[in-house]
Amino acid sequence: MTSASERGKRPLRVGNCSGFYGDRASAMADMARAGGIDVLTGDYLAEVTMLILGKARAKDSTKGFATTFLQHLDAALEHLVANRIRLVVNAGGLNPAGLAAATRELIARHGHDLRVSHIEGDDVFASLGDLRQAGHCLPHLTSGQQLSDWPHQPLTANAYLGGFGIARALHNGADIVVTGRVTDASLVVGPAAWWWGWTPDDHDALAGAVAAGHVIECGPQATGGNFSGFRSVPDLVEPGFPIAEIAGDGSSVITKNPGTGGVVTQDTVTAQLLYEIGEPAYLNPDVTAHLDTATLTDLGEDRVGIRGVRGTAPSRTTKVAITGVGGWTNSAILALTGTDLDAKAALVEQFVHRYAEAVNGLDAVAVERIGRAQPDPDTQNAGTELLRITVQGTQLAAGRVFSSRVVELALSSYPGLYSLGPPQPGSAFGVYWPALLDQRMLQHTVHHYDGTTEIIAPGNPDGAGGEVMPQAEPALAPSVPAPRADELVVAPLGEIVHARSGDKGGDANLGVWVRDRAAWDWLRSTLTVDELRRLLPETRGLEISRHELPYLGAVNFLVRGLLGAGATSTLRLDSQAKALGEWLRSRSIKVPRSLVRS
């Protein structure tokens, strides 16, 4: 592994090999084989993942971790050892100790003697009753409703931990660190704090590491994946995974291994910086990172520098993600072809509403039209739209009985009716409850490889916050003069901007930034909350917050409640708002002719 003499004398090189539970299976071995990094990280967790692991743990108490990690490690282990790479992953999920034990067994089978430590303290599921009795009512982050009023039984409850437990595990000699629910960025913050010997008061350095960690946490999203400018990305079939080179002041360079697919540019890095952040003051248990102070520099050859990220003291509280089983859901998709499509869809809606009135146990029903049939179509598919019916409720109402009723329409409804796929029994859906908890209530514990344990103090034990000193606004391209009426043309917004969107619980995050800095003044003055509501009618009536990040030429929106109670239970087809930004870019808007790309 990396020698102690190297630490603190050159930038730390941290790679990523997983952005979610189900990411590319070969990535860990590929990154380990390539070498040239000090630490390899893997992010396996999300709210949906915790629900999946919770169901597994409920059936078997020895489960609850990301089992695919062991397959990834089995293929990568010899390369990790040969290239002296440390490994930090949150694949422990709900059972870090169990995964650590399984990891040791795997290593022993390979004939190695690596040191495996694990971190616990995030799982507060067993303490929910005690916390409430002690006066911690765990109110919902958006509604303020108390957890005791939630009609669902919690299945998991995990607080987000910071990176100093990881730092201590590495400091004490761990080769592999397995964690539960740390923040995604903590997987990078911990190794950086270990490498440079940072303390909890090194706010700017920690904030820089948070920015770097946030950029690489989702794997190839930083190298061209899910990027609105994907047509310019080479070899996007298999883009490389990102690497962050982190300096002692927290500044970093984002890059990737030579010869791998994808690309690292200011735009791909901006896309990931804006991803699911909400306010620019990005909260982490170790520091509040002010992402609106970050500046990017294109260094060429797939290298982008991130500098200037300011940090202030973290909040006294940390987020707690609570999941449960909400009920039963089922859906069916029918085809609408040819003429009279509105009348055909209306006939199905009448059936659905009559079914909902006749059966007990349905809580929610949604009927959505997908696509638009072409007039005078030259193929059958070109003249076809889809009708998606979704129901939620009890298993009896939303299960096989619902599917059977839809099947009965086959000979008794509109002409040309057929379904896409056989009838389904439905499945249980999850519900999500985000809350805050004082960090002092947690036992952030490092279980060192030698059997000793260590408690990590909270990042902000006194609750003292701080305000970041604003920097002067960056010198961007000259402002665009107010256009005369004859200088305006109608064009898709995507001609002017890139966008990246995603879910934050029941809210949707939407980051938009200019393709050309000359368009920044136009964007900031034009894309207001009211204009967003006009362009995206489905956001009308919802609370929307808007934040400017001038250094990135970006505005970021948080659309409250677009996803209902969260991605695991929303009735929206795009359950994680992944395509919200692409919808926005497809909308037409009046723009100065000089800003439209030829």
In which region does residue 451 sit, left (phi positive, over 0), alpha (psi from -120 to 50) or beta (all else)? left
pLDDT at residue 4, rounded to an integer: 66
Angle, helices 68-82 vs 96-109, to 10°: value is 50
Distance CA 290, CA 308 (A): 10
Tokens 């019916």 appear where? 389
- Give the start-end residues of each E strand in 81-162: 86-89, 116-120, 154-159
In which region does residue 233 sit, left (phi positive, over 0), alpha (psi from -120 to 50) or beta (all else)? beta
Give, for all 598 residues of the chain, the pLDDT tens digit.
666 668 878 999 999 999 999 999 999 999 999 999 999 999 999 988 999 999 999 999 889 999 999 999 999 999 999 999 999 999 999 999 999 999 999 999 999 999 999 999 999 999 999 998 888 999 998 889 999 999 999 999 999 999 999 999 999 999 999 999 999 999 999 999 999 999 999 999 999 999 999 999 999 999 999 999 999 999 999 999 999 999 999 999 999 999 999 999 999 999 999 999 989 999 999 999 999 999 999 999 999 999 999 999 999 999 999 999 999 999 999 999 999 999 999 999 999 999 999 999 999 999 999 999 999 999 999 999 999 999 999 999 999 999 999 999 999 999 999 999 999 999 999 999 999 999 999 999 999 999 999 999 997 666 555 444 444 444 444 444 444 444 899 999 999 999 999 998 899 999 999 999 999 999 999 999 999 999 999 999 999 999 999 999 999 999 999 998 888 888 899 999 999 999 999 999 999 998 987 5
Distance CA 314, CA 281 (A): 10
Backbone phi, psi, residue 95, to 5°: -145, 65
Distance CA 546, CA 538 (A): 17
Distance CA 385, CA 532 (A): 27
- Whole-model pTM: value is 0.93
Contacts made by residues 52-57, CB under 8 angstroms, sequence distance 24+: 52/21, 53/93, 53/94, 53/95, 53/156, 54/94, 54/155, 54/156, 54/323, 55/155, 55/325, 57/94, 57/95, 57/156
pLDDT at residue 470, rounded to an integer: 45
pLDDT at residue 187, rounded to an integer: 98
Tokens 């004398």 appear where? 9
Quick one: CA torsion of 275, 278, 284, 287, rounded to 10 degrees? Answer: 110
Q: Are 492 and 541 in contact (CB under 8 A)?
A: no
Per DSSP, the three-state class of 82 is helix
pLDDT at residue 229, rounded to an integer: 95
Q: Are 92 and 123 in contact (CB under 8 A)?
A: no
Assigned token pair, 178: 């397995």
**Cα 491 to Cα 523, 580, 586, 588, 591, distances in angstroms:** 14, 18, 9, 5, 7
Strand partners, 261: 239
In which region does residue 533 sit, left (phi positive, over 0), alpha (psi from -120 to 50) or beta (all else)? alpha
